[in-house]
Amino acid sequence: MNNNLYILYDNVSGVLFETDQVAYDVARHVKTQTDEQLLEHFKGIHAPEDILEAAKELRVLIAQELILAEEKVYAPSDRFGLVKALCFNVAHDCDLRCAYCFAAQGSFHQERKLMDVKTAKAAVDFLIQNSGKRRNLEIDFFGGEPLLNFDVVKETVHYAKERANKTGKEFKFTLTTNGLKLDETVGEFLNEHMDNVVLSLDGRKAVHDTMRPRASGEESYDIISENILRFLKKRGQKEYYVRGTYTALNKDFSQDVLHLSDLGIKHISIEPVSSEEGFAYGLGQEDIALLDREYDIIAQEYIKRKGTEKEFSFFHFYVDLEASPCVYKKISGCGAGTDYMVVSVDGKLYPCHQFDSVEEMYLGDVWQGICRPQIGQGFFDTNILTKETCKTCWAKYHCGGGCYAASYKIHHDIHQVDEVACEILKKRLEYALMLKIVESKKS
């Protein structure tokens, strides 16, 4: 956006403020250069008195450890082995056949099947037994399509609440659905019991129908959008996100965000497709400049629609600098394989839903517990402190080192990073920080 903003952001302290061009330029060198060196460095670019004034003010902030502070990080080992969240992959099946699906259109490269209630209850017990003193636990229903196994979803919720009353735990429930089976009866249950619901809709009808056809090959946009909008009318203030995926087919994805906003959807998340090299719909480094312009359009519309009936929130523009995650979460990200894992339809445990049925990543099962702790330890030890690419990255505390599954998919190595995803994240974060400045000035 052409806002003529110069922003300084310290990723250690979380301090963010607007400045002028002189201080912006000097900040890059003030810690390593003397006044004389700074004057020589910016000779003919900035006035000497402005350079010295900026350096003086910046050094005050440095002394207060508000900017350019030394990093003080740690990875508390006492957290390892305590589970906080479990993804229940209740369906290795789906009623859509999405072109970009990481799970082989819901089958996870296995026989299509559903989780039985015995396995689901054992998974609840496993979560409670392996949570230690953690009081607040999370269950995420996923697939495939979890509503293909709605009866087990319901029984699991009721059983978890019953066990919570007896053990002093509290559960937060989330469900991700494609919306095809989201009728009024299902909607009533989700609105009553689900703390968060993630609804998949890729945006414009042509985009959605191309990428997300029904199993029969028929289009799915009309019925899914109708179901979602009916559901949201009764959702009230409870949390939800309508989540889409953009690919090489719709690099103009800002129009999909705005389409969802025009439908009256308030909470939107559009994610770039994650794919290995050579994937027909994949994104590459050559697309970054174009994608940057799309986030620019979204940011402009975000500001323009603020305070109107078309106001919307965009998931990737939300940055809470005041109540950011603890140091451990900043370092390790999602916690896959350690405090978060997935239980497959047959009760097997894997580091996350994208590793479901990847036998190399098998952790154990809900009956016998963890039998391969070295897998979880490998995830625990892989973070922004150990990934070479992350060590000097200014955005590292906002991604925890990126997605393990994407790294594995691309490099077959969780210690590597998805370079394209890294660039996209940094672009989104730049706009998120800019919007915080713009909104603070308006308020």
Residue 417 has pLDDT above 80, yes or no: yes
Angle, nearest 10°, between helix axes 254-262 and 288-305? 30
Considering only residues 368 and 440, tell me which one the structure prediction assigns the higher pLDDT. Answer: 368
Kindly report which listed range (61-75, 285-299, 354-368) carries the lowest average pLDDT score.
61-75
Give the pLDDT band of residue 316 (cuts 50, 70, 90).
very high
- Whole-number pLDDT of residue 319: 84
pLDDT, the chain, mean: 92
Tell me what the mean pLDDT of segment 76-98 comes to.
Answer: 86
Cα dist from 70 to 10, 58, 62, 423, whole Å: 11, 15, 10, 25
pLDDT above 70 for 17? yes
| 6-9 and 364-365 strand pairing | unpaired
- Return all residues near 207 (Cβ < 8 A) that are at least 6 apart: 249, 250, 256
Q: Please state, in angstroms and rounded to a whole number, the distance separating the CA atoms of residues 335 and 403.
A: 10
Out of 71-75, 77-81, 91-95, which region has the weakest mean confidence (pLDDT)?
Answer: 77-81
Percentage with pLDDT > 90 across the chain = 76
Average pLDDT over residues 85-107: 90
Highest mean pLDDT among 99-113, 367-381, 384-398: 367-381
Nearest to 336 by CA among 406, 395, 260: 406
Q: Give the pLDDT confidence score for residue 327 in this predicted structure.
A: 62
Residue 418, helix vs strand vs coil: coil
Two tokens at 285?
């480094």
Specify the pTM: 0.91
Q: What is the per-residue pLDDT for 400?
A: 85
Which tokens belong to 66?
């508000």
pLDDT at 329: 66
Q: Is the predicted pLDDT of residue 423 greater than 80, yes or no?
A: yes
Contacts of 46 by beta carbon, 8 Å cutoff, 6+ apart: 21, 22, 25, 26
- For the record, the structure tokens of 268 come out as 């939107």
How much is the pLDDT for 73? 61
d(CA 199, CA 51): 52
Q: Note whether 131 and 137 are within 8 A (CB).
A: yes
Q: Where are the domains of the chain?
A: 6-72, 78-317
pLDDT in tens, 134-171: 999 999 999 999 999 999 999 999 999 999 999 999 99
pLDDT at 206: 98
Residue predicted with more confidence, 327 or 55: 55
| Encoded tokens for 119 | 């396995």
Specify the higher pLDDT residue, 77 or 289.
289
Q: How far apart are CA 12 and CA 14, in angstroms?
A: 6
What does the DSSP assignment read for 164-231? HHHHT-EEEEEEEE-STT--HHHHHHHHHH-SEEEEE--SSHHHHHHHS-BTTS---HHHHHHHHHHH
pLDDT of 28 strictly over 70: yes
Cβ atoms within 10 Å, residue 277: 10
Q: What would the mean pLDDT of 308-331 be, rounded to a whole number? A: 80
pLDDT band, residue 332 (cuts 50/70/90): confident
pLDDT at 13: 84
Of 96-100, 110-114, 120-124, least confident by mean pLDDT is 110-114
Please give the pLDDT value at position 209: 98
pLDDT of residue 326: 61
More confident residue, 80 or 178: 178
For strand 313-314 and strand 340-343, is the pairing parallel, antiparallel, or unpaired?
A: unpaired
For the segment 1-15, the average pLDDT, to the nearest whole number, is 80
**Residue whose tokens read 């009956």:** 367
| Exposure string over 178-211, b if 16+ CB within 10 A, otherwise e | bbbbbeeebbeebbebbebbbbbbbbbeebbbbb
pLDDT given for residue 383 in this prediction: 87
Whether the CB-CB separation of 259 and 208 falls below 8 Å is answered with: no
pLDDT at 104 over 80: no
On whether the 78-317 domain is CATH 3.40.50.10470, my answer is no
